[in-house]
Structures are given as structure tokens and as C-alpha cells.
Chain A
């Protein structure tokens, strides 16, 4: 045994690696080709019930910020410009390929013209952001007390009464979608307006979006607008390499968007 091990020379080892490389490449390309849709349905629903998701059509977003405003109104989000359940980012890519991102007060007060002169702008667009309602949510994994969880219809919620305010989930969220509510001292985030959708209403941000840039629906249900959006667009999710399996799907996502 010992001898055998020793007999693997550096040369053999490298050869072996070279053989593995294509296999590894294939495997990783397989991952990329795989569907962006969440691999597993939330526990317990077994093909029945709802399974919520949201589409964002970046070609239609006009950056009016009414979604950010409505979200704060609907969910009593603190008015200070550090707390958002949803916000709108503006990306400006210059001809020198420099990227700048801003989101003054989440877009609630509108966006002033960009600092960069128009002839230096290569392209520019708005990106609404919110909790991605991941099917494999890192925030849920790190919660020490089970105060944040995925419901059986696929929405990640926070149990206000159970949360101890340790901030682990805020750290764990790769999308910066969580904040510590300064009044209640517990973590908070977008709920897809769970209190609205369970009563058959659309989330507040979707309700006020004037240009149908936000599409709400159910992943499995052909009878919701999300279905059409999914079928007619090439969709992407944010930070797919983290394998969090977001359920917020973007159309025409620029490679610069983080």
C-alpha cells in the first residue's frame, strides 16, 4: 500500500489531472445549462398549493421608484433611507467601461440626471432589487433559532416574535435584502407582501408598477402572468454561482449587474 502510494509520481498525478479537467469542465457547463428554476418545491406542498415567484422585466423599468414607495407604505418599513425591502438601482456604464451604481433613497424621490455627461454613457438602466426568495436560502440555514423559514408556498418569512436579533441572516444574505428593524430590533425583509398574496391581491410593488416591469405569479401555475413572462423571455437570476436558487427572475440582465 505504502509503496503504491509512493509510486504515484508527480508526472502521473499531473496526467491524471489532465484527464479529469475535461470532465470537470463538462460538469460545470452542465450546471450552467441547467434550468434556473428552483430544483425543489418547498417542503410539504407536494405539487399542490401555491409556489410563488416574481419576474422583473428590465426593459420596461422606468425607474420611477413607485415600488419602493408603495413597499414602505404597505409594510411600515422605516422611512430612513437605510431600510428597504425593495429598492431600485441605477446602473451607468461609461464608454470607458466604468460602472457606477446608485440608488438615492431607493428611488423614492426619483433619480436626478446622472452625474456623467450623456455622451460618455455607453448604456444605462434600472434594476429593481428585493429579497430573492431563494429556494435554498442561506439566511434560513444560519438562523440559530428557526425564526426565519421558507413557507410551504415558497416564501421566506421572518418570525418577529421568535427572532433574537443576532443579525446572522443579515450577514448571510448575498443580496443585501435584510435589515434590522430599528424599532422592533428584529430582522426584517420582503415577504412578497404575504398578507396580500394570501388574500388574492398582488404585492404592493407590483400593484403600483406603471409599466408592468414587475410580474408576479406562480411558478407552477400557467394561469398567472409569470408563466407567459417565463415562456417568452430568456431569464436569469442574480448571483447564480452561489446556487441559492432565487425565485426572482430577471429579463435582459446586463452582465455588469451584481
Chain B
């Protein structure tokens, strides 16, 4: 055998051995156990930390909330869809507090009107519905059953009742402003309910010296739109003011 061939064979031998060695050193142990990949990577991915605990865990401590929510229209809405990831909280509730989305924004993600949404899904016009109040002043987030907000007057005065139910005057009964005879529904044209007649009627609640709850906005009765009746500028069933 010519010497150059021998040298070549030797060279090839060394190269092959080096290749095997390098492969042995570089290819991780678990490579190829199940396929052309590192089997340990599967466990590494599977070992990642969890952020969303899942509604079953929340139930264990907040069974009161869960009892209200299940069976309600929000039954399928997971706790963490509103409260955010809660695994840390579930592990140590006092150290890691969860906040509640008390503003209007989070509800609007799901409920603001959009023509792309499936018809039949309950949607509202967020700029108009309920004024600028937080949704939870009128709806229980854990049990948002269809609100009625409407008294017996609704049957006939549907439009007014619906309008009022979305207004700042939602909490006022029709009869607060309209003294209504019992027989009005039976003979509506003969028995006409009373209507406010004076500015001072609204002043009972909105005047600066009124004894009504402090949250009610006040105006100076002497200077505020003094030439007109209040409802010439404010629709009483949907009063709009500064807010």
C-alpha cells in the first residue's frame, strides 16, 4: 500500500473519531429519545410557572361569590377574565391582593356595541348607556341579571321608562315626580297624573340649600337658567348636566 494512502486512511480515521467525539460531547443526552429533539425540552416547557389559577381554585375560598355567579348570566365568564391572573393570590391571598375592575372599561371589552359581534350577544352603546357611572352601580358583576329598573308604568310608557332607566334619574320612581292616581292605568286620559310645574320642584333636590343627599349635583336656583322652567333645557327623564 503506498504510504500516501496509509496517511490518508489515518487522517480519515482521526477525522471520523473526532466527529464521533464532538458529537458525543455536543449532542445532549436526551436528544433522540423520542425523536429528533431533546426530550428534556418537553419537561422544561411543561415546568413553566402558572399565572392563571383557573376558576375551580377561586371557588375553594370564594364559594360565596361562586354561588352567586353560577346560574347567572356570567356563569361562563371566568373569575380571572375580570380579575386578572390570580395564581399568586391563591397561594397567598393577603400578600398578593387581587384588584376588582370597578371601572367601565373592562365591561366594555365584552359589551360595547360592535357590528362584528354575533347578534344576540347583549351589547350597549358605551357612550350613552348608564351615563358615565361605573357599570357596577346598576349591575352586579357576579350576577348581572337583566335589569328591570322599571315599575308598572313601563307597560304603557315603555319609551320613557327605558330612557329613564339609563339616565342619572334611574333611581327616581316615576311617582316621585308624578303623583299618580290608582285609576290612571284604567282610565289614563280621564285620570291624568300630575306633572311638576315649578322650578322649585327640582330645587327640592338640586337647590343649593336642599336637604337631599350630597352626591346630587347642585345649582344656584337664582341664577341657573332663571328665565325658564328646568325641563325646557333638561329632559327630566334623561337629564344631562356637566357629566
Q: Assign chain B's interface to a size class.
A: 35 or more
Known interface pairs A157-B42, A201-B50. Does A44 touch B116 (Cβ–Cβ under 8 Å)?
A: no
Shortest CB-to-CB span from B24 to chain A, Å, is 16
Asked if B48 lies at the interface with its beta carbon under 8 angstroms from chain A, I say yes
Shortest CB-to-CB span from A135 to chain B, Å, is 14
Q: When chains A and B are docked, how far (Å) is the Cα of A73 from the Cα of B49?
A: 11
Q: Which residues of A contact B113 (CB under 8 A)?
A: 113
Q: When chains A and B are docked, how far (Å) is the Cα of A61 from the Cα of B118?
A: 7
Asked if B102 lies at the interface with its beta carbon under 8 angstroms from chain A, I say no
Q: Which residues of A contact B109 (CB under 8 A)?
A: 64-66, 110
Asked if B184 lies at the interface with its beta carbon under 8 angstroms from chain A, I say no
Is A161 a contact partner of B49 (Cβ separation < 8 A)? no
Q: When chains A and B are docked, how far (Å) is the Cα of A77 from the Cα of B49?
A: 13
Contact with B along A51-75 (1 / 0, CB 8 A): 0000000011111111000100111
Interface-facing stretch out of A23-31, A146-154, A224-232, A243-251? A146-154
Is B41 a contact partner of A207 (Cβ separation < 8 A)? no
Binding site secondary structure of chain B: loop
Is A151 a contact partner of B44 (Cβ separation < 8 A)? no
Asked if A10 lies at the interface with its beta carbon under 8 angstroms from chain B, I say no
Closest-by-CB residue of A relative to B37 is A149
Q: When chains A and B are docked, how far (Å) is the Cα of A63 from the Cα of B108?
A: 11
Q: Which residues of A contact B121 (CB under 8 A)?
A: 62, 211
Asked if A160 lies at the interface with its beta carbon under 8 angstroms from chain B, I say yes
CB within 8 Å of B: which of A175-213?
A: 191, 194-196, 198-199, 201-202, 204, 207-212
Number of interface residues of A (CB under 8 A): 53
CB within 8 Å of A: which of B36-82?
A: 36-38, 41-42, 44-52, 54-55, 74, 76-78, 80-81
Closest-by-CB residue of B relative to A65 is B109
Contact with B along A13-45 (1 / 0, CB 8 A): 000000000000000000000000000000110
Query: Of the candidates B34, B41, B54, which one forms a contact with A202 in the assembled complex, judged by CB atoms under 8 Å apart?
Result: B54
Is A159 a contact partner of B118 (Cβ separation < 8 A)? no
Is B54 a contact partner of A124 (Cβ separation < 8 A)? no
Q: Which residues of A contact B110 (CB under 8 A)?
A: 62, 64, 66, 210
Asked if B143 lies at the interface with its beta carbon under 8 angstroms from chain A, I say no
Closest-by-CB residue of A relative to B47 is A195
Q: When chains A and B are docked, how far (Å) is the Cα of A47 from the Cα of B162?
A: 59
Is B117 a contact partner of A43 (Cβ separation < 8 A)? no
Is B35 a contact partner of A159 (Cβ separation < 8 A)? no
Q: Which residues of A contact B50 (CB under 8 A)?
A: 74, 195-196, 199, 201
Is B51 a contact partner of A92 (Cβ separation < 8 A)? no
Q: Which residues of B contact A121 (CB under 8 A)?
A: 115
Is A161 a contact partner of B118 (Cβ separation < 8 A)? no
Known interface pairs A157-B45, A207-B52, A210-B78. Does A113 touch B37 (Cβ–Cβ under 8 Å)?
A: no
Is B36 a contact partner of A146 (Cβ separation < 8 A)? yes
Asked if A136 lies at the interface with its beta carbon under 8 angstroms from chain B, I say no
Is B55 a contact partner of A211 (Cβ separation < 8 A)? no
Is A110 a contact partner of B112 (Cβ separation < 8 A)? yes
Is A73 a contact partner of B85 (Cβ separation < 8 A)? yes
Chain A residues engaging chain B, CB cutoff 8 angstroms: 43-44, 59-66, 70, 73-75, 90-92, 110-111, 113-114, 118, 121, 124-126, 146-152, 157, 159-162, 191, 194-196, 198-199, 201-202, 204, 207-212
Chain B residues engaging chain A, CB cutoff 8 angstroms: 28, 31, 34-38, 41-42, 44-52, 54-55, 74, 76-78, 80-81, 84-85, 108-110, 112-118, 121
User: 17 pairs across A/B with beta carbons < 8 Å?
Assistant: A74-B50, A74-B85, A92-B116, A114-B116, A124-B116, A125-B118, A148-B37, A149-B35, A159-B37, A159-B44, A194-B45, A195-B46, A195-B50, A202-B54, A208-B78, A208-B81, A210-B77
